[in-house]
Amino acid sequence: TAIDIHNPQRNKNTSGFLPEERDWVTKFIASGFVDSFRHLNTEPHNYSWWSYRANSRIKNLGWRIDYNMISESLLPNLNRSVILSQAVHSDHCPVLVEIID
């Protein structure tokens, strides 16, 4: 969604945020899946990838392109879904989903 990318208007025709890609994700979710992170976190500016250029990570000018989708049947067991943005190992950071019994 637009809150998952810095400057969605400028990037609307960029691979990774193309209309047909967003449409595919919408249809995938409609088929019985849940974006675990967005289900629990509705605020913007939570990203899992930043370009190495222009100090993008320091400025938090990124994209949320790493997802943990879960089936709707797991939703009652979803405890947390977080982006571990402080873990710096590459241009991506780890994402974590915790399912409880």
- Backbone torsions φ then ψ of 83, nearest 5 degrees: -105, 125
Give the chain's domains with CATH numbers.
Answer: 2-99 (3.60.10.10)
Residue 61 in contact with residue 53, Cβ under 8 Å? no
Render pLDDT for 37-74 as a digit per residue (tens, 0 to 9).
Answer: 999 999 999 999 999 999 999 999 999 999 999 999 99
Q: What is the pLDDT of residue 15?
A: 93
Pairing between strand 49-50 and 62-63? Answer: antiparallel
Name the E strands within 1-101: 33-35, 49-50, 62-63, 69-71, 78-83, 95-99
Percent of the chain's residues with pLDDT above 90: 97
